[in-house]
Homo-oligomer: A and B are copies of this chain.
């Protein structure tokens, strides 16, 4: 691992950890709202997405401030700029949580998840939360081993995604087109959430090792 401005990078890394925690919490609440058809909880997710947008700007400001003070070039600049890619992935994960919340709001007071699919989506929500928890830890502790384990969770998500389509496209599917359309889109949101988490895991290895105070 490159050791580039470890002290300066601490503030950047701290803001990434805070952002990752917010994104984890957003999907936790979006999943809880989805599975309980809870309108208030879902609405809260859509409102608090603005906080994630602000955190994204904080990461950007800290990265550019670091660059202005230290003037890295070449490989050093690349590793510092990796933080912006991580922030972009986290921002998108937050937006996907909002999409899940909006599905809940759109069908309320009916549940957006058909009873036949509830167990599958409970599992997808659990895997998504596991991925997000690992991202938080990997960013906080520069834990490359933890980050590498994300692929196994992503495989689990892909398998749940395949199971979802198998259930919906089976001849016994009794619930109809609307539930299947909701299921297809919700499945895609969780799958993309996992993809972005895996992206972040790949990038953690390239981040400078500045260690946030809260992880020390």
A contacts, CB < 8 Å to B: 64, 67-68, 71, 73-74, 77-78, 81, 84-85, 88, 165, 168-169, 173, 176-178, 180-181, 183-185, 188
- Knowing that A67-B73, A180-B184 are A-B contacts, what are 5 other residue pairs whose CB atoms are under 8 Å apart, sorted by A's residue number? A81-B84, A169-B177, A169-B181, A177-B180, A185-B188
Contact status A74-B64, CB under 8 Å: yes
Contacts of A184 in B (CB 8 A): 180-181, 184-185
**Complex Cα–Cα for A64 and B71 (A):** 13
Contact status A178-B188, CB under 8 Å: no
A69 to chain B, nearest CB (A): 9
Q: Which residue of B lies closest to A75 (CB)?
A: B64
**Complex Cα–Cα for A176 and B32 (A):** 30
Instruction: Check A178/B169 contact, CB under 8 A, given A64-B78, A73-B67, A73-B68.
Output: yes
**Complex Cα–Cα for A67 and B73 (A):** 7
Q: Which residue of B lies closest to A65 (CB)?
A: B74
Name the contact of A180 in the complex, choosing from B68, B73, B77, B181 (C-beta under 8 A).
B181
A134 to chain B, nearest CB (A): 23
Contacts of A74 in B (CB 8 A): 64, 68
A190 to chain B, nearest CB (A): 13
A142 to chain B, nearest CB (A): 23
**Complex Cα–Cα for A164 and B10 (A):** 48
Contacts of A88 in B (CB 8 A): 85, 88
